[in-house]
Structure 1
Amino acid sequence: MLLRLPLPLHLLRRYEHHQPLLPNSVPPKRFNYHIFSHPHSTSPTVPVLRATYPVDLSSPSSFSEDEQEVELGRLLSLLPEEMRRRVSDHRELQQLMEVVMDLGRKPLARFPSGDFVISEYPITVQDIEHATAQVGDFAIDNRAGISRTLHRISAIRNRKGTIIGLTCRVGRAISGSAKLLQDLVQDGSSLLLIGPPGVGKTTIIREVARMLANDYKKRVMIVDTSNEIGGDGDIPHSGIGSARRMQVPNSDMQHKVLIEAVENHMPQVIVIDEIGTKLEAMAASTIAQRGIQLVATAHGITIENLIMNPSLEMLVGGIQVRLPTS
């Protein structure tokens, strides 16, 4: 049996991005994007961009340092005083990635340089209750947020449904983080960014949404499954500019909301984070066939991961099986 790819992968362009992706104090490191496509394909597929890990770079933000400090302070307020002080005193405070709190274990703050213990005392039930009391309700995917910020709080539950762990991820809107994609964005190309969790895919598509809405005056609709692109609460974060945002009641309905966005709101661009199921991939293909620009992300390390994923391979043309004939 032979496997034939209708989309042989040709490396069209390789960008080497030296723009920082986090605040200015981070030493710049190289950040590569690889764009794959096929010049002769007629399939409704999108260019695929692979982000190499890690994306711990920085770029000038559209927000003042005071505004960034206020938003970070709202996340740190979830922590007891001693933990909050130790995080605040860390030299990499502005590059804080997330705080991990697991019942009975010492809490950790994660920075680009590694994990840092922020208390010698294990997390108690009271510590977790203190944090959860200050965030919105956890959805069916065990995610919650802090109103009008980009931070995400994810819960771990025991078999009885009690929360016994929290991952508090810092969210930042970074102006200029999508500058290397400007030519693709401007000419109306659909984009799919793939990479492992934490490399900055959501940060970039948020900036792409803002760029399309504000700079190119497009009608942009964000389908925001976990409120991670536009922030928690009913009023979107200013980081998405004038783009509109549709919230999704639960992740199982994401593909339906995608189609609803197209049919009800006449967008020129759809932005969506984390395409992960076959139904979502089919909806994305339908959107591309209708001539609507699609900007999306998916988890993966290499382009081969995407091709061999039966739920997502249609995004890059799919895999066809051809039997040899005598």
Structure 2
Amino acid sequence: MHADIPGIARVTRRVTLPPQPVFDVSTASEFDHLLRMLPGRVQVLVESRIREVEEIRMQAFGPVEVLYQHAHVIYPIELTLDDMKVLDSVGQWRADGRLGLEGTLHRFGRLDTMGHTSLVTVRVAKAFVGLAEPLREWLSVAQDGLVIMGLPGSGKTALLRDCIRILGERLAGRLFVNDSSNEILGDGFQPHPITDWVSRVPIGDPTLQFEKLNQTVKNFQPRWMVVDEVSSPGDARAIAYARSRGARAVMTWHAGSLRSAYQEKDERTLWPLIQRNEDGITGPPVASLGILVRGRGEYVIFENLEECFDEVAHDRLPPGVQVSVAQGSRWGHREQALTG
């Protein structure tokens, strides 16, 4: 018997794997571009270890916080308004306070206070190849949609990119990526080359996602659609509509468990995808396979979401396969892998 994961799953099988090769195929120019956008005093803090940086937080009259792969460092320097003004020239900020750098996967988030940039967070994104390889067993047979779920910052989008790579091997141009915040394939007109077998629908502004999803379904008849961050009931209805027209969905949900997705009653964002109402389940969900990201290399696979949500509806733990991938000391770069 396998031990349950409290509040998450009744473990039916446990898969433990040794460290798997994961390569960062991001180019040096992507990081150089990012460094040029930062205030000079922040550049010197991170440039020597930029490939290890996951997030940079800069606040006016506050310290600089940097989240590295294995450390959270607070640098005791105070940024001035002049430092923060450098960030105003990064690009055209969208209404949701976000922007990306064309040709990269990096993302900036901004808070404006009384007409001044007061807080900026930079997600330093890498193009990882190999993250999803331990899940190929399930991805290779996924025929009726896929949900990747997890809490914010758990690595859903990074995993999604590599899942797209694997799915693209058999779906190619029939797989359409609807990039709500342009985080999957990057901002700007030219997508990041990490997934070059798919069709991209840049959206940029999440408020336009419902309209763009409907346009994609009506005009291009996709076989599969990718949607990052299902964030409104409108998004969910558009995906459910696409499913009724024969398009399978690959999507990410902000949820730490199937139970939390099922029980969420404020916005009811995911209800059209779960197919439930006030009385309970009304039909099968719009995807058959679920992957819960619990942390780096820690996953729970829900092989039959219809069965799983039925268990949740009856207040029972859903059956799941626990996958644990041992982590090496650090990610490899493609150049290192090729040259030894």
What band does the TM-score fall into relative to the shorter chain? 0.7 to 0.9
- Give the match's secondary structure for 1:109: strand
Deviation, structure 1 residue 242: 2.2
* Contact kept? 2:181, 2:204, Cα under 8 Å: no
2:131–2:162 contact (8 Å) kept in structure 1:
yes
Amino acid across the alignment from 1:229: I
Could you tell me how far apart the structure 1 residues matched to 2:14 and 2:213 are? 30
- Structure 1 residue corresponding to 2:218, chosen from 249, 263, 272: 263
Counterparts of 1:228 and 1:18, CA distance in 2: 30
- Cα distance in 1 for partners of 2:11, 2:106 equals 35
Distance (whole Å) between structure 2 residues aligned to residue 114 and residue 283 of structure 1: 40
Of the candidates 105, 110, 113, which is equivalent to residue 62 of structure 2? 105
Instruction: Describe the shift of the 1:315–1:249 C-alpha distance in structure 2 as closer, same or farther (beyond 3 A).
Output: same
Instruction: Summarize the Cα distance change of 1:113–1:213 in structure 2 as closer, same or farther, 3 Å threshold.
Output: closer
TM alignment of 1:21-60, pairs within 5 A: 59-60=22-23
Tell me the alpha carbon deviations over residues 131-155 of structure 1, each in whole angstroms, 9 at most, x when there is no partner. 331x221111110111110000000
Contact 2:221 2:247 in 1 (8 A): no
Name the stretch that deviates more: 215-224 or 190-199.
215-224
TM-score, normalising length from structure 2?
Answer: 0.72
Please give the alpha-carbon distance, in whole angstroms, between the structure 2 residues aligned to 1:13 and 1:221. Answer: 33
Deviations 1:89-112 (A, max 9, x none): 45xx43311110010001111113
The aligned residue for residue 74 of structure 1 is 33
**Residue 312 (str. 1) matches residue 267 (str. 2):** no
Identity rate of aligned residues, in percent? 25
Q: Find the residue that maps to 1:238 and give its secondary structure.
A: coil
SS in 2 for 1:239: coil
Contact kept, 8 Å, 1:136 with 1:147, in 2: the verdict is: no
Structure number having the greater strand percentage: 2
* Residue of structure 1 aligned with 2:174, choices 219, 240, 243: 219
Where does residue 229 of structure 1 map in the other structure? Answer: 184
Contact 2:233–2:269 (8 Å) recurs in 1: yes
Distance 2:270 2:240 in 1: 10
Equivalent residue runs for 1:284-323 within 5 Å: 284-309=239-264, 310-321=268-279
SS state at 1:126 partner: helix
- In 2, are the aligned partners of 1:148 and 1:231 still within 8 Å (CA)? yes
Give the letter for the 1:108 counterpart: E
Matched, 1:130 2:89: no
Q: CA deviation at 1:280?
A: 1.1
User: How many equivalent pairs are there?
Assistant: 268
Between stretches 194-203 and 212-221, larger displacement belongs to 212-221
Q: Tell me, what secondary structure is at the counterpart of 1:222?
A: strand
2:45 to 58, 71, 86: 86
CA distance in 2, matches of 1:167, 1:214: 34
Q: Output the CA distance in 1 between the equivalents of 2:112 and 2:117.
A: 4
Structure 1, unaligned runs of 5 or more: 1-8, 25-58
Distance 1:302 1:18, change over 3 A: farther
- In the alignment, residue 293 of structure 1 is paired with which amino acid? R
Contact 2:230/2:252, CA 8 A, preserved across alignment: yes
- Tell me by how many angstroms 1:223 deviates: 0.8
SS at match of 2:172: coil
- Aligned counterpart, 1:207: 162
* Structure 2 residue 49 is the aligned partner of structure 1 residue 95: no
SS class of match (1:171): coil
Coordinate RMSD, CA, aligned: 2.4
Match in the other structure for 1:176: 130
Q: SS state of the match for residue 168, structure 1? A: strand
Aligned to 2:200: 245
User: Contact 2:168 / 2:197 at 8 angstroms: preserved in 1?
Assistant: yes
State the distance in 2 between where 1:264 and 1:68 align: 35
**Which residue type is aligned with residue 54 of structure 2?**
M
Q: CA deviation at 1:172?
A: 1.3
Are the counterparts in 2 of residues 194 and 201 from structure 1 also a CA contact under 8 Å? yes
- Give the partner amino acid of 1:221: F
Please tell me whether the aligned partners of residues 78 and 130 of structure 1 are also in contact (alpha carbons under 8 angstroms): yes
Q: Judging changes above 3 Å, is the alpha-carbon distance between structure 1 residues 11 and 318 closer, same or farther for their aligned structure 2 residues? A: farther
Closer, same or farther: CA 259–15 of 1 in aligned 2, 3 Å: farther
CA shift, 1:321, in A, is 2.2
Asked if 1:121 corresponds to 2:77, the answer is yes
Distance of 2:144 and 2:52 partners within structure 1: 32
* Kept in 1: contact 2:55–2:68 (CA 8 A): yes
Quote the Cα distance in structure 2 between the aligned partners of 1:176 and 1:292.
26
Counterpart residue type for residue 234 of structure 2: L
Unpaired runs of 5+ residues, structure 2, are 1-8, 281-340
Of the three residues 188, 195, 206, the one matched with 2:150 is 195
1:218 CA drift (Å)? 4.6
